[in-house]
Chain A
Amino acid sequence: MIVVVSLVISVIFGAGVFLVLQRDLLRVVVGIVLISNSANLFIIAAGLSRGRAPIYPLSDGDLEAAGVSDPLVQAMALTAIVISFSVAALLLALVYRLYASHGTSASKISPRPRCARPRVWRRRAPQSARRSPRRNRKR
């Protein structure tokens, strides 16, 4: 079983890495979601065992003997899922914000950090203004 799980984890992780390296921001977000989910699977795999559901009034005192599966990894995975969900929502909001300000489809916005010349960037006028003839004459 552990071989199958690790194969699944590696395929999901690889697909996520492939998507993160794309230029389209939405694909980057989907890639991040996939990578976070592969980490969630990894957590589950860290305590993978077949057993009864760990519901509190246990019949036996000794957990190992009772054949109860590990509840801790499930709690951790649940927490990690909530965190990755909220961060994915935040990332989507950022992408939407960039989409709205550029007025183009998200695929045309490159995630390239143009940090070398921030001033040029800041002065960049909105597209409608740049296209106007007067502006061009000034240049």
Chain B
Amino acid sequence: MTGSALLTLSASLPWTFAAVLALVDGRRPWAGWLAVASLGASLAALVWLTFAVLRDGPVEVVAGGWPEDVGITLRADALGLTFAVVSVGVILVSLLYEVVNGVRSRTFPAVVLFMAAGLSGLFLTGDVFNFYVFFEISMTAAYILASYREQDHQVRAAFIFAVINLLGSVIFLIGIAALYHVTGSLDMRTIAERIGSVEPNSVIAIAAAIFVAFCLKLGLFPFHFWLPAVYVGSHPPVAAILSGALANIGGYGLLRFGGGILPEELELGSSAVLILGTASIIYGALQAISRRDTSEVLAYSAIGQAGYILIALGVGGPVGFAAAVLYAVVNSLNKSLLFLAAGLRGPMVGAAFAVGAFSVVGVPPAGGFLGKIALFKASLAAATISTSVALVTLVFLGGALSFLYSFQIYQRRFMAPRPEGKPSNPGARALMISLAAFVLAVGVWPQPLLHVCEAAASVLIGGSA
């Protein structure tokens, strides 16, 4: 199968099935399994496409058969595909978890598929306005998912989530309109070419708007206030989807817009980016240590972990970008494993959670070790020696703090005797064990992931030249 056919297939499969499943009752088991199957097929197409792209280079399709500069481009390169595969994978695992446990709402499978469709479109588009549209589709699906189970506090959380993130979307939309105004194009590659000749002051304002919008999505320190309110009450698979798949929009957007389209502005603001990342790491870790509720600790931990991505981005260059991609990938695996495992009880769940906790800390056999090593490399590549020393200290300190909070939760949640607890569904537990095994496998055989991340970073470096 050719690359362009695969690209069209992986972008359109979730759409078709989401539209079909929206009409049927999602609580029936067959509907859930149909959603799982279609998402699995789309993941397989994405993985196949990744192999093709790594071998032959990026694939482009202009929608509707329009000429090159007129139509809307879908562009699959290593960076977008890495994020797409991870996000769709996390969504698939969370959907499987919920289907095994029993879906409680008509719309759940369809909404999850719409979110996967929005995310895979967002990561594979080459057009900034299309990026906004796909982004809004996945965000709208996320607002609905946040209110899943319709408890009072969940609906309230969904409302907060929707209002805050809509403000972020509006800021992003204004940034896109301004980019169009100064460059006269919506195609990412054309904008990146023309942005050099635009008056710098206006570009700095645009870059600041886009940076704020993505930091809001990622939940970084000064923009994090909505995040605990949303993650705490939500149902485990929903929390896993929000933190493991949706937060990738922030990381990908910062890399694509900061590294690919506005590299000079990113370099100009690198000290601000580093300071915000540092504040996020320390604030998130300290807050996580001070909390007792499992999901609350994980929510604050998500704020801290997002800070590492920002630090790698602030360092920049091939090493920094590769570290940012790697950390984002590993982090979304960790977060989904932790959120899902924390929702279960019974034999082996504690082991799966412990693997996730070790991975967050960065202990060698787990996948998180790779992320930490890449961050060390990036810190050493920083511009001045004092920055390098400060960053290395920070990564150590952050690791130590995350060790503390991860095992505090482990102790409270899994070591305390729980007489009333009935073991959870064995299918869901088996799923958790296989996800934990996957995290370990990534740590034991890191070569493929490292290769993909380097390819992804080289896309950005090539784009900025």
B152 at the interface (CB under 8 A from A): yes
| Min CB gap A107→B, angstroms | 15
Given contacts A43-B173, A97-B150, contact A90 B162 (CB under 8 A): yes
Question: Is the C-beta of B377 less than 8 angstroms from some C-beta in chain A?
Answer: no
Other-chain contact of B129, A20, A79, A98 (Cβ < 8 Å): A79
B286 to chain A minimum Cβ distance, whole angstroms, is 16
- Verify B153–A122 contact, CB threshold 8 A: yes
Which of A79, A90, A115 is in CB contact (< 8 Å) with B133?
Answer: A79
Give the complex CA separation of A72 and B166 in angstroms: 23
Residues of B within 8 A of A115 (CB): 228-229, 232-233, 296
Stretch of B177-185, B276-284, B424-432 on the interface side: B177-185
Q: Is the CB of B229 within 8 A of A76?
A: no
- Answer yes or no: A95 CB below 8 A from chain B CBs: yes
Contact residue among B144, B147, B160, B178 (Cβ-Cβ distance under 8 Å from A113): B160
Q: Is the CB of B155 within 8 A of A94?
A: yes
Hey, what's the 0/1 contact readout for A107-139 against B, CB within 8 Å counting as 1? 000010111001101100000000000000000
Verify if A91 is at the interface (C-beta below 8 Å from B): yes
A54 at interface (Cβ–Cβ under 8 A)?
Answer: no
For the complex formed, measure the closest distance between the CB of B150 and the CB atoms of chain A, giving whole angstroms.
7
| Residues of chain A contacted by B132 (CB below 8 angstroms) | 80
Q: Tell me whether A91 and B163 are in contact (CB under 8 A).
A: yes
Instruction: Determine the distance from Cα of A47 to Cα of B182 in the docked complex, in whole angstroms.
Output: 10
What's the minimum C-beta distance from B29 to chain A, rounded to whole angstroms?
27
Indicate if B136 sits at the interface (CB-CB under 8 A).
yes
B163: contacting residue among A20, A73, A83, CB under 8 A = A20
B166:A32 contact, CB within 8 angstroms? yes
The interface residues of chain B lying within 8 Å CB-to-CB of A76 are: 129, 177, 180
In the bound assembly, the distance between CA atoms of A87 and B178 in angstroms comes to 23
Q: Which of A73, A97, A114, A118 contacts B155 (CB 8 A)?
A: A97
Partner of B180, one of A28, A72, A86: A72
Q: What is the CA–CA distance of A31 and B156 in the complex, to the nearest angstrom?
A: 17
Secondary structure of the B contact surface, majority rule: helix
Task: Indicate if the CB atoms of B174 and A39 lie closer than 8 Å.
Answer: yes
Cα separation A15 to B152 with both chains bound (whole Å): 29
B140 close to A (CB within 8 Å)? yes
Chain B residue numbers with a CB within 8 Å of A91 are: 159, 162-163, 166
Q: Give residues of chain B (128-174) contacting chain A, Cβ–Cβ below 8 Å.
A: 129, 132-133, 136, 140, 143-144, 147, 150-153, 155-160, 162-163, 166-167, 170, 173-174
Q: Do A118 and B147 touch (CB < 8 A)?
A: no
Please give, as numbers and ranges, the residues of chain B lying within 8 Å of A35 by CB-CB distance: 166-167, 170
Interface string of A16-43 (1 = CB under 8 A from B): 0000100001001000100110110011
Chain B interface residue number, banded: 35 or more
Q: In the complex where A20-B163, A97-B150 touch, is A87 in contact with B181 (Cβ < 8 A)?
A: no
Count of chain A residues with a beta carbon within 8 Å of a chain B beta carbon: 37
CA distance in complex: A9, B178 (Å): 14
Complex alpha-carbon distance, A52 and B155, angstroms: 48
Report yes or no: B133 in contact with A83, Cβ–Cβ below 8 A.
Answer: yes
Of the candidates A47, A80, A86, A102, which one forms a contact with B140 in the assembled complex, judged by CB atoms under 8 Å apart? A86
A98 to B163, CA, bound (A): 15
Among the interface residues A32, A72, A113, which one has the most CB atoms of the partner chain B within 10 A? A113
**Closest chain A CB from B379 CB (angstroms):** 33
Instruction: Determine whether the beta carbon of A80 is less than 8 Å from that of B180.
Output: no
Q: For the complex of A and B, list the 10 residue pairs with the smallest distance between their C-beta atoms, beginning with the closest.
A: A113-B229, A46-B181, A46-B177, A115-B229, A43-B177, A39-B170, A39-B173, A94-B159, A83-B136, A115-B228
A sample of 26 cross-chain residue pairs with beta-carbon separation below 8 angstroms, ordered by A number, consists of A20-B163, A32-B167, A35-B166, A35-B167, A39-B177, A46-B177, A47-B181, A72-B180, A87-B140, A87-B162, A90-B143, A91-B159, A94-B147, A94-B155, A94-B158, A111-B156, A114-B153, A115-B228, A115-B229, A118-B153, A118-B232, A118-B233, A118-B293, A121-B152, A121-B153, A122-B151
- Taking A47-B180, A111-B163, A114-B153 as known contacts, 19 extra A-B pairs with beta carbons closer than 8 A to each other, sorted by chain A number, are A35-B166, A35-B167, A43-B173, A43-B180, A72-B186, A76-B180, A79-B129, A80-B132, A80-B173, A83-B140, A94-B143, A94-B147, A95-B159, A97-B155, A98-B155, A113-B229, A115-B229, A118-B233, A118-B296
Residues of chain B whose beta carbon lies under 8 Å from any beta carbon of chain A: 129, 132-133, 136, 140, 143-144, 147, 150-153, 155-160, 162-163, 166-167, 170, 173-174, 177-178, 180-181, 186, 225-226, 228-229, 232-233, 293, 296
A-side interface residues toward B, CB under 8 Å? 20, 25, 28, 32, 35-36, 38-39, 42-43, 45-47, 72-73, 76, 79-80, 83, 86-87, 90-91, 94-95, 97-98, 101-102, 111, 113-115, 118-119, 121-122
